[in-house]
């Protein structure tokens, strides 16, 4: 009898834990997403992909230099497509010192959001966090579609396929 109660208690804690984790995921909403990546889980504390560390040369339309931060969900994605919940945040700089921040662009993998374009929710923010473009901007999709085999990710190549979660 005691074992049943212990198993039931563990099951309840697991369900509560899953609920808390799911509640922490931001909605595909630019204002809520900005608060999440700047306050809830500050993106500048996340990691870099091993093949794209720190300040790197960039290209139009993002600017001549950038840093790309990836949350744990994305870093744990070993193959394309990236796991749902992956967040990729790119600081776009106008100088090689990484001091002239021009924009912050985000890719957020949301199950069922936009299956035709890898389920990515896209946002371009000003440095202050005002969303200039968001959702499924055709310009973002058209450019990133050249990397569909890498799940629309331009700066990191996964290789094979992985099952989506």
pLDDT tens-digit profile, the chain (165 residues): 666 555 544 444 443 443 334 445 889 999 999 999 999 999 999 999 999 999 999 998 999 999 999 999 999 999 999 999 999 999 999 999 999 999 999 999 999 999 999 999 999 999 999 999 999 999 999 999 999 999 999 999 775 444 444
Tokens of 35: 């608060």
Q: Go through the domains of the chain in sequence order and give each one's CATH number.
A: 28-150 (3.50.70.20)
Where does residue 68 rank: exposed (0-12), middle (13-18), buried (19+ CB within 10 A)? buried
Taking the C-alpha atoms of residue 64 and residue 163, their distance in angstroms, rounded to an integer, is 34
Whole-structure pTM value: 0.82
Tokens of 59: 């290209």
């Amino acid at each position: 009898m005691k074992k049943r109660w212990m198993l039931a208690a563990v099951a309840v804690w697991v369900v509560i834990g899953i609920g808390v984790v799911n509640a922490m995921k931001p909605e595909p909403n630019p204002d809520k997403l900005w608060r999440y990546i700047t306050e809830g889980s500050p993106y500048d504390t996340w990691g870099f992909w091993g093949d794209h560390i720190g300040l790197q040369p960039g290209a139009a339309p993002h600017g001549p230099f950038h840093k790309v931060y990836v949350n744990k969900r994305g870093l744990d994605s070993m193959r394309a497509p990236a796991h749902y919940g992956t967040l990729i945040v790119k600081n776009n700089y106008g100088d090689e010192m990484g001091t002239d921040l021009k924009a912050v662009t985000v890719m957020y993998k949301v199950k069922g959001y936009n299956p035709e374009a890898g389920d990515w929710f896209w946002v371009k923010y000003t440095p202050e966090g005002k969303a200039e473009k968001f959702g499924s901007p055709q310009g973002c999709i058209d450019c990133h579609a050249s990397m569909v085999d890498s799940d629309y990710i331009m700066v990191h190549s996964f290789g094979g396929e992985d099952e989506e979660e």
